[in-house]
């Protein structure tokens, strides 16, 4: 017996289809939620899993899981489950403002931390601040923010100080 490899969603009611369409084109939903809604609508329209996986740029296993989730949990299957990992203290949208604060006086990171705490209401450590600086590629050419950056060579290794 040969398998056709076809799996379709059970027919979706018109009202649920309308909701899926609203979710798909919503600005408030995450991209993954919109993608799942699109996949379900495509499956309801008769597209195969392999066609949907090509459209959504995912694997056919993933699309199959989305369809199974819809069959079990309906709209609850569209929403992402909580993921592990800590939420950042300073979100990436605020990094430019943090860098501007540091650039005012790059040699005094503790005073920058105080200003950041006053402005955003969030207390961060010097290590966290240095991570933000490093992540945003601020270095010697952008204001000589730290001795470590000044001592780095182009290969990323530190130069040794010679004793005189």
pLDDT for 113-139, tens place per residue? 999 999 988 889 999 999 888 888 765
| Total number of domains constituting the chain | 2
Q: What is the CATH number of the domain that holds 70?
A: 1.10.10
The per-residue pLDDT for 139 is 58
Contacts for 5 with CB less than 8 Å, ≥ 6 apart: 48, 49, 50
Asked if 117 and 74 sit in the same domain, the reply is: no
**CB-based contact 148:154 (threshold 8 Å):** no
Cα Dmax for the chain? 84
Mean pLDDT by 10 residues, the chain (164 residues): 62 91 89 92 92 93 93 90 82 87 87 91 90 75 48 46 45
The span from the CA of 143 to the CA of 145, in Å, is 6
The pTM assigned to this predicted structure is 0.51
The per-residue pLDDT for 138 is 63
Tell me, yes or no, whether 46 lies in a domain.
yes
Asked if 96 and 132 sit in the same domain, the reply is: yes
Report residue 78: phi and psi, to 5°.
Answer: -75, -30
The per-residue pLDDT for 89 is 83
Residue with tokens 């027919």: 11
The per-residue pLDDT for 136 is 82
The per-residue pLDDT for 61 is 94
Asked if 105 and 63 sit in the same domain, the reply is: no
- Domain span at residue 117 reads 92-151
Query: Distance between terminal CA atoms of the chain?
Result: 84
The span from the CA of 94 to the CA of 126, in Å, is 17
């Amino acid at each position: 017996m040969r398998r056709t490899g076809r799996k379709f969603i059970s027919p979706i009611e018109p009202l649920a289809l309308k909701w899926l369409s609203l979710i798909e084109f919503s600005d408030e939903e995450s991209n993954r939620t919109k993608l799942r809604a699109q996949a379900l609508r495509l499956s309801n329209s008769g597209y195969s899993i392999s066609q949907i996986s090509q459209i959504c740029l995912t694997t056919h296993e993933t699309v199959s899981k989305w369809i199974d989730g819809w069959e079990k949990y309906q709209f609850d299957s569209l929403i992402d489950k909580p993921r592990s990992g800590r939420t950042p203290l300073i979100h990436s949208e605020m990094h430019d403002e943090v860098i501007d604060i540091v650039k005012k006086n790059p040699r005094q990171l503790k005073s920058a931390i105080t200003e950041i705490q006053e402005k955003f209401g969030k207390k961060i450590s010097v290590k966290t601040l240095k991570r933000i600086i490093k992540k945003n590629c601020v270095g010697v050419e952008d204001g000589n923010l730290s001795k470590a950056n000044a001592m780095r060579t182009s290969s990323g290794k530190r130069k040794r100080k010679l004793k005189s």
